[in-house]
Structure 1
Amino acid sequence: MKVITCEEPKQFKQMEEEIPEVGKGEILLKVKRIGICGTDIHAYNGVQPFFTYPRILGHELAGEVVKVGAAVDGFSSGDLATVIPYMECGTCIACRSGKTNCCTNMKVLGVHLDGGMREYLLVPSDHTLKVNQISLDEASMVEPLSIGAHAVKRSKIQKGETVLVIGAGPIGLGVMRFAKLAGAKVIAMDLNEDRLQFCKEWADVDGTVNASNNIVEEVSKLTNGDFPTTVFDATGNKASMTNAFQLVSHGGQLVYVGLVKDEISFNDPEFHKREMSLLGSRNATKEDFSYVINCIENKQVNVDALITNRSTLANLIDDFESFFAPENKVIKAVVEL
């Protein structure tokens, strides 16, 4: 089978490997779709935390079940499936508390373990979800959308609450959509006016702020001086994550969804006087995946509009850098096999 490995920053290599044998509790998937995300781009550019080379990238996956190992129930050859790429230990304090998304010994496909940029992939059956009621494109977007859904669930926002989502990339867009489904009034912030327009059309946001303007003044105007009670930062940008503190209401919360390979500092008096809560949101749980699949099945999330660019495994090495070229206005790129 064909495999693409990131040998070192900015260097892919195509290889041939044997199709793996299926073991007990495993499922062999024929990979059909691979979503390209910020993690893949950061790894390619050499700025992804918790990363070593060489590595097979790819963790936003959809495929077709080819073989089912012993002790696996509920799957048959030909089923469509998506993958939960977070391989938790199952025994640490987080796992024992049901918080498998922040396992102390987390191994993520495409980051700590080799991922899905190959024709066939072995996956534990308990990290495989059958998705026969949705398309392969939709199945490939379940993982990134689940990250947004998890952030919204973690924030415990209430119906009628005003929230601000900073960053209109795929993760931020997911946060916006699920915050709207939770009944919140949503304000989107980004530097890109095209993206802000997309937020209105796709996520049905209630207002937008261009981050190149006076953000404190703009957000204050949109909230009658109250400021949002919940602010999500999905940028992975140090300056944005730092500046977000000043956009939270008194008694409000700031949720970091994006990750930056750096240190974040803040002014304690500004933080303290607000009695702010600062939260991190990492990955997603199986329940988040199931919720997102249900939303897609019920046409509450329009996946087709998210996918703007496509490639094939054969062309991926040549096409990859085009996926993060600003002039191409990529929202989401997908590799088809």
Structure 2
Amino acid sequence: LIETAILLLASQSVVAEGKASPASRPTASEKLVLSELTVDRPPGQDGSWVELYHPGTNMLEAAGVTISCNGRTVFTVPPGVTVPPKGLLLIRFARGKKPAVDTAASFRQANSATLWATPAPPARKGEDGKKRRPGYCAVFASPKQGSESICDYVQWGRDGAHKQQALAWAAKARLWPPDAVVYVGVNPRPGDRPVPRLQDGAVLCRFDFSPQRVHRVGNHCVRAERMATPGRGNTLPPPDMRFPWPGAGIAADQDLLISVGMRVVVPEPAHVHGGPETGKGKDEKKKPEPGKPFRVQLARDPHFREIAYDGRFSARGVIKRTALAKGKYFARVRLDGERVSTSWSEPIFFGYE
């Protein structure tokens, strides 16, 4: 079961001290874009949410920014909301009394803020979160929706969802290819990579916020809603060392099998905005190799001061027995691709004797 797919990393930066520049209105370069959104309960339904991210460098006056989902307008940002650079604006849809939110104070404290909204009526029959259906979500710079005001767009599944006006606007604005979708387990076409149905609700994530996105669909993927981090941005977790497993005892007269994996699916090319640095010292000398995104280190000590092996692998590989001496080892792994990287995993201990 794939628990999660590529996660968005909205870097938490702080507005520079001193005199703040005046807030700008959304433009092609300064705008709010989709970061995360619920899929089984599309934005607008009770309990749904959508996270917007400001990838620009100036303060952004967000009043009037409008979210449309599956043919209906579900939310318009009220006056008085200004989003700082690299800020996150979370919109939650819930019935009942809504808590008061001081967005300016929230942005100062955490560079993110939450707005509460009243759920909108379902756009389609059966849109109740019980069954995953194709759909789309779009962000506009103003309530006047069109190709000139559309800021971002994402579409999941097919089944006629591609025959709507918002897609034509997104295609004209070069935000989304007219024949592209993110497959989330509904209505695949030949060649689509299957995504197993998650045990709970699904969240659609975007992980590349660069202005020019060549592989737009490859910049989105799916994760379980219970693992989402609404309002906090997203981190890409390190891979898992699947073999050797902790405490394994392996005969030293055979090659050492290495098996690693991730709880995420990493389509290439990919770019994690504001991702972790590759490290210092020896780490900088290990260049990424095509087809071998995982870097594995073995050491005699848990702090990896005495590196016994440092190599690159695909999901599976072998360390020749002639490359290792007999003894006890600690192993760790990280994703270290050309444009996507993570921190090191927690070390595991095994014997090779």
Q: TM-score, normalised by structure 2?
A: 0.23
Please say which structure displays the higher CA radius of gyration.
2
